[in-house]
Chain A
Amino acid sequence: MSHLDSLGGTSSQRRHLKAGSAQRIREFAIRVWRCRVSYALVAPFFVCFAVFILVPVIAAIVLSLTFFNTIEPPRFIGLRNYVTLLTEDDVFMTMVLPNTFRFAVVVGPGGYVASFILAWLVAQIKGKFRTLLTLSLYTPSMAAPVAMSAIWLVMFSGDRIGYLNSFLMNIGILNEPINWVHDPAWLMTVMMIVTLWGSMGVGFLAMMAGILNVDPTLYEAGRIDGVRNRLQEIMYITVPAVKPQMLFGAVMSIVGTLQAGSIGVTLSGQNPTPQYAGQLVLNHIDDYAFIRYEMGYAAAVSVVLLVVMYLTNKLAWALFGPRGDD
């Protein structure tokens, strides 16, 4: 770490200061002033960071303690929003929460494990073919849900003109067309498939790059130490070596799972989704914030989501994060 800029300004103020806190503040101020170039470099990012991430998170917490309908100024009501959420919001408890849980477990850990396995498999292939495979696995994650909705809608269309229905009826699996995106029994499944399809993203690339970069001599050393098969190789050599990238992948996967929350509304074309079958926490927030204009309540739901997100990430750090002996 190199220290920058010793040109630092000299304070012309010369007051008699008692040694102690005043002195220390002054020294700190001088240090800060010396580093002004560093702060100038950090400032543009930090301002945007504060305005669009830091302040919104704090504001969400404050708003969650109020009743706010965007017309009257927010009124402080303590924890009532949270109490309502836990005791009175039947839709949240019986539909949104279980839906989100099911969706998150399949798409989060499911998609994550799939990314790791695929990353490992792709890394075993050599040359141009690997590039081609990487490309075709990563491509879906680049296609925005809204760009693909044109395709999903005709593919999963509920009548017999729908491509999937037509195909399945043709080969004799179905007798009657299924209304994939409007039938509450199917919407969630379609949401999961569509999201998993697009989940080989940045995390997948990171893990693949990590696996490709594992020092080959480690594998040789492992063989001498008695590693007998590929599975042991993965367990004892690859995973420990790629742990940092796996953690990055896990963080990206948690964020990605959350961001996929609007897919149910995109597919079914309505919020709330049919009989709340595809309603996830994000849709619930949207519903209260921009349809019912109960901003305070929506903020409380957001805070719960942020907390859950944070705890999930803690879990990921505990699993893959650096240990004391690393």
Chain B
Amino acid sequence: MRVAGRSIRIDTTQVIIGLLLTLLAAFMALPIVFIFMQAFKPLSELFLYPPRFYVMNPTLQNFSRLLTTLDVAVVPAVRYVFNSVIATAAAVTAVLFVSTTVAYALSKHDFPGRKLILDMTIVALMFAPQAVLIPRFLLIQRLHLYNTYFAHVLPFVAAPVSVFLLKQFIDQVPDEMILAARVDGASEWQIIFRVVAPICRPALATVGLLAFQGVWNSMETSTYYIRSEAMKTLPFFLGTLTSAMTNNVAGQGAAAAAGLLMFLPNLLMFLVLQSKVVQTMAHSGLK
């Protein structure tokens, strides 16, 4: 009797919570739905008064206009997309590689300075790069990284969050396993890529996703570290689009299309990786 009563109580609370959350989630999804609507609206619907939220006759006009001619830009939009893809691919690869090796060393090796580097990484979790924009900018100039593709990539390789998450995950790998591999004659290199990396796939997926979002969404590098228009990335282009569109309705559709192009890869990647991300986040605790 008690058991039955309890299970009914749980069901009703679940239903109430479910309803509340659904309402909230729907409300929060509105702007996301809106960007889809806006991106596919033909000019006539962008001009419509009173404005209408949903699109009646979806069209690809905005995308074609974005990719062909737009008078606000000196360089064709495809170029920005290309730069973004190159920078993001390079940065994600570099972050995965560099973070895995350091996280492995911090987790499974003992060497003078290990504690110091670990502590610095944890303090750096609270670091917001924007706060030291100026010295970063000056340093990038001094190191002749200014106006090179490296300026798009290298700042992201210093990724304390990635190192931390990977280290927490590698801590779960039993020492015996690594010892066994070593006895079998595996080099450290092979241990990292044949033993540790396969076990840490969820964490690698998460770190890859976070790195992807960081680089793909970043406007900072293009704004401050790159001079040539032809080397800037999609978010920067989008910024110029939106600042030019305030009194230009045609531009609004194109800006929404560009915004959607920027947002979609994030969404798709998260959809594919979400269970791995949640699995990794369980180990994110700071103790």
Contact = CB atoms under 8 A, between A and B. Distances in A.
Interface of A: 1-5, 28, 31-32, 35, 37-39, 41-42, 44-46, 48-49, 51-57, 59-60, 63, 118, 121-122, 124-126, 129, 131-140, 142-144, 146-155, 160-163, 166, 170, 197, 200, 202, 205-206, 208-210, 212-213, 230, 242-245, 247-248, 251-252, 254-255, 258-259, 261-262, 266, 269, 282, 285-286, 289-290, 295, 298-299, 302, 305-306, 309-310, 313, 320-322, 326
A144 B217 contact: yes
Contacts of B154: 48, 51-52
B284 A209 contact: yes
Interface string B149-176: 0000011011011010000000000010
Contacts of B271: 135
Given A1-B110, A151-B31, A131 B274 contact: yes
B112 A147 contact: no
Interface in B27-66: 28-29, 31-32, 34-35, 38, 49-51, 53
A269 B285 contact: no
> Which 10 A-B residue pairs are closest in the complex by CB-CB distance?
A244-B285, A144-B217, A59-B135, A35-B111, A150-B255, A209-B281, A45-B102, A136-B25, A56-B132, A209-B282
15 contacts: A2-B108, A3-B110, A42-B101, A124-B17, A136-B29, A143-B263, A146-B217, A151-B31, A154-B252, A213-B282, A258-B128, A258-B130, A269-B246, A289-B134, A310-B126
Contacts of B242: 146, 149-150, 153, 269
Interface string B227-239: 0000000010011
Contact of B135 (A35, A56, A140, A143): A56
Which residue, of A38, A261, A310, has the highest number of chain B Cβ atoms within 10 A?
Answer: A38
B278 A53 contact: no
B245 A31 contact: no
B287 A322 contact: yes
Contacts of A144: 216-217, 219, 235, 262-263, 266
A163 B51 contact: yes
Contact of A28 (B112, B125, B133): B112
Contact of B109 (A31, A41, A122, A142): A41
A124 B19 CA distance: 12
A239 to B, nearest CB: 13
Contact of B266 (A46, A143, A251): A143
B69 interface: no
A54 B160 CA distance: 12
Nearest to B101: A41
A302 B117 contact: no
Contacts of B199: none
Interface residues of B, number: 104
B135 A299 contact: yes
Interface string B100-118: 0110111011111010010
A147 B175 CA distance: 45
A143 B33 CA distance: 12
A151 B158 contact: no
Given A44-B98, A44-B101, A45-B98, A52 B278 contact: no
A161 B213 CA distance: 33
A202 B216 CA distance: 17
A161 to B, nearest CB: 6
Contacts of B255: 149-150, 153
B99 A125 contact: no
B105 A245 contact: no
Given A144-B235, A148-B259, A46 B117 contact: yes
Nearest to B244: A269
Given A41-B188, A209-B279, A259 B130 contact: yes
A67 to B, nearest CB: 14
Contacts of B120: 49, 54
A269 to B, nearest CB: 5
A230 B132 CA distance: 44
B131 interface: yes
Given A4-B109, A302-B134, 13 more contacts: A51-B143, A52-B129, A53-B129, A139-B28, A142-B270, A144-B266, A146-B239, A149-B259, A153-B252, A206-B284, A209-B278, A244-B286, A309-B126
B40 to A, nearest CB: 13
A132 B18 CA distance: 11
Contacts of B8: none
Contacts of A125: 14, 17-18, 21
Contacts of A161: 49-51
A197 B25 CA distance: 11
Contacts of B26: 136
B138 A59 contact: yes
Given A51-B139, A150-B255, A35 B53 contact: no
